[in-house]
Amino acid sequence: MTPPRRLGALAVLAAAALALSGCGILPLFPSGGGGAERPGPTGEDVPAELERFYTQELEWTGCGGGVDCTEVTVPIDWSEPAGGTTTVAIARHKASGTPLGSLLVNPGGPGGSGFDFVRDSAAYVVSSEVLGAYDVIGFDPRGVNRSSAVACYTDAADQDEWLYGTYSAAYGTEAWYAELTDRAKAWAAACEENAGGLLGHLDAASVARDMDVIRALLGDERLHYLGYSYGTYLGTIYAQLFPEKVGRMVLDGAVDPTVGDLDALATQMAGFDSALRAYMEWCLPQSDCPFRGDADSALRSIRQMLETVDGRGFRASDGRVLDSATVATGIIFTLYSESYWPYLSELFAQLRKGDADTVFIYADAYNGREGGGTYSDNSGDIYTAVTCDEGTLATDGVDVFAGLERIDRAAPILGRYAAYDDYAVLKAVCSNWPAEVAELPTDFSAPGAAPIMVIGTTNDPATPYANAQVLAELLSSGFLVTYQGEGHTIYAQGVRCIDDTVDAYLISGKVPASDPIC
C-alpha cells in the first residue's frame, strides 16, 4: 500500500508499492515500419516511426510558484506508435543555479501525481542544494490526474459506494465475495468505458518509454531520476530497458520486482503489523495513550476490536457505516510515518467512544476523498488498473480465501481486515479485467547502467527493508544505502546522513565506498 496504495493527502511522500512482474519483455522499440533512423533533440538516433514523439516541440506555460508546465504526446500502445496517442502532463521547477540537467521525480503509487508533487511542494521534494543544481521535473504518468486521466466511476456517489459500501453478507464468506465480484465487474466495465483505450497500456514499461521521451525532449542524454516506492519500480524498469541512458538514479523505498502480487501484499501487511507494534511501544509509556498493559495485550485488543466492529453499527456524521475494512484503512494510513502516530492515538481514543468520524477522516485521506464528498484525484482507480494491467492475481491459481489466510498468517493483527479492501478487491477486479496483462521485463540487472542508489528503511511498513537489499543485488550497478528507523521513504526528510549521501551522489556523482548505515 502507499498512503497507501490508494494514495491520499500523505500518499505523495509514501507511495504502495507492489512489485508486479510479467512473463516476458517487449522489444526496446517496436519492430516493423522500416525507415532510416534520424537524430532527436539530443542528437541520438531514433526509429523513424518514433521521430514525431522524440522531436515534438514543447510549449511551456507558467503554472504558479515559479513552476512552468507542458504536455508531452506519446503513443497509447508503444507497439503500434502510428495508432492513438495520449498526453503526459509535466511540471518543471527550474534550477536556481546553473543546472546539471533535469531530475525527473515520481512520488509512487501507482497513481501518485508527480506534477502536483513538484508544482505544490518542490522545496520538500529534494534538498535545497539539489533544487539549486537541477531542473526538477514532476510528471503524471499516463492515465494519472492531469495526464489524460482514467476515471472509472465519474459520479462521487458511485465511488463512495465502491469504496465504502457495506455488504449484506459477512466479510470472509462465499456470499460476500460473490457480492464483491458483482461490484468488481461493474467497476471494471466502467473503467473500460471511460479509459479512452488506455486499459492494458498503463504498465511500467509503457511509462518507462514515456520517461525516455521526456528525457530526450528536455535535452538530457541520460535520465537523472528520483523515484519513491512504486516509483522505484518505474526506475528499475527504465534501467532495464534503457541501461545506457541511466544517469544518476535514486530509488527510495524500494520495490522488489521479483515478488508476486500475493506474496508482496502479505509481506507488506506484515510490515504494517511491525509498524503497529513500534507505535504501541511508543504509545504505552505516555499518560494519554489509549491503551494499557504490555504491547502484546494491547495489540490483541486491536485485533478484537477489528473482529467485533462490524456488528456495532457505528456511523459517521454523514451517514456512512463504519466497518472493519475501513478501520484497517484508517489505521494503515497513520502508520506511514512516525510523525503520524499521535493521530493514530486519536483514532483509537475516538473509536473507543463510538465516534466513527475520526476513522473516516484518515480513510478518506487514504482514498483521496475531500470533505465535501468529492475526490481530489484518480489515484485509487489507477492503483487498481495498473495492478490488473501488470499483475498476477488473476492467474496465480490461488483461491481468494486461501490468499486471505496467507495474508492473515503473515500479519495476524491487521492482515485479514486490511486485505478485505485491498487483496480481495484486487482479486475480484483483476479476475474480470477487460484487458490483457502487459509483458514486462523478468531480468532486472540493467547491464551497463551507471551506479544506481537504492535506499531502504529498516522498519518501512509499506516496502520492507528486504526489498531494498534484494533490488540493490539485482541491479548490476546497484548500491545500498540504509536508514535505521521508521517510516516509508526517507530522503529530504531532515535526516542529515541520508540527505548528504544522496546530495553528494546527485550533485557530484559520488558513490559511497560502503553502505553508510545512517
Whether 318 is catalytic is no
The Cα–Cα gap between 166 and 185 comes to: 17
CA dist 102 → 93, 98, 220 (Å) = 10, 11, 7
The answer to whether 19 and 264 have CB atoms below 8 angstroms apart is: yes
CA dist 207 → 140, 141, 212, 357, 449 (Å) = 10, 6, 9, 38, 19
Whether 201 is catalytic is no
The Cα–Cα gap between 42 and 269 comes to: 44
Extract the C-alpha cell encoding 266.
502479505
Extract the C-alpha cell encoding 286.
505516555
Q: Which residues pair with 73 in a beta bridge?
A: 87
Q: For residue 202, what pLDDT is reported?
A: 96
Q: Which residues of 242-266 are buried (b: 16+ CB within 10 A; e: fewer)?
A: bbebbbbbbbbbbbbbebbbbbbbb
Q: Which residues of 111-120 are buried (b: 16+ CB within 10 A; e: fewer)?
A: bbbbbbbbbb
C-alpha atoms less than 13 angstroms from C-alpha of 439 in its C-beta half-sphere: 9
User: Mind listing the domains of the chain with CATH numbers?
Assistant: 40-147+200-258+442-508 (3.40.50.1820), 156-197+260-430 (no CATH)
Q: How many CB atoms lie within 10 A of CB 311?
A: 10
Q: Give the full edge-to-edge strand order of the sheet including 85-93.
A: 61-62, 67-75, 85-93, 135-139, 102-106, 223-228, 246-252, 452-459, 478-486
pLDDT, tens digit, for every residue of 469-485?
999 999 999 999 999 99
Catalytic residue among 229, 274, 337, 379: 229
Element (H, E) at 416: helix 415-420
Q: For residue 38, what pLDDT is reported?
A: 37
CA dist 344 → 16, 289, 332 (Å) = 20, 10, 9
Whether 488 is catalytic is yes
The Cα–Cα gap between 275 and 281 comes to: 10
Angle at 462 between CA 134 and CA 288, to 5 degrees: 105
C-alpha atoms less than 13 angstroms from C-alpha of 442 in its C-beta half-sphere: 7
Angle, helix 261-283 to helix 295-308, in steps of 10 degrees: 120
Q: For residue 41, what pLDDT is reported?
A: 66
User: Is residue 230 classed as helix, strand or coil in its secondary structure?
Assistant: helix
The Cα–Cα gap between 79 and 284 comes to: 56
The Cα–Cα gap between 43 and 76 comes to: 25
Q: For residue 371, what pLDDT is reported?
A: 83
Relative to beta strand 135-139, strand 223-228 is unpaired
Q: For residue 178, what pLDDT is reported?
A: 97
pLDDT, tens digit, for every residue of 191-222?
999 888 999 999 999 999 999 999 999 999 99
The Cα–Cα gap between 370 and 398 comes to: 36
Phi-psi region of 223 (alpha: psi -120 to 50; beta: other; left: phi over 0): beta
Catalytic residue among 210, 488, 499, 503: 488
Taking the C-alpha atoms of 409, 414, 416 and 417 in order, what is their torsion angle to the nearest 10 degrees?
170
DSSP character for 310?
A: G
CB-based contacts of 494, cutoff 8 Å, min separation 6: none
The Cα–Cα gap between 468 and 461 comes to: 13
Q: Which residues of 61-71 are buried (b: 16+ CB within 10 A; e: fewer)?
A: eeeeeebbbbb
Q: Which residues of 392-403 are buried (b: 16+ CB within 10 A; e: fewer)?
A: bbbeeebebeeb
Q: For residue 10, what pLDDT is reported?
A: 35
Catalytic residue among 140, 460, 499, 503: 460
pTM as predicted = 0.89
- Specify the residue for cell string 483461491: 399
The Cα–Cα gap between 331 and 91 comes to: 33
Q: For residue 64, what pLDDT is reported?
A: 84
The Cα–Cα gap between 448 and 315 comes to: 57
**DSSP H helix total and E strand total for the chain:** 18, 11
The length of the chain in residues reads 518
The answer to whether 453 and 481 have CB atoms below 8 angstroms apart is: yes
- Name residues of the chain where pLDDT drops below 70: 1-42
CB-based contacts of 227, cutoff 8 Å, min separation 6: 105, 106, 108, 233, 234, 235, 249, 250, 251, 252
CA dist 194 → 150, 351, 382 (Å) = 7, 38, 12
Alpha helices in 153-294 (DSSP H): 156-164, 174-194, 204-217, 230-241, 261-283
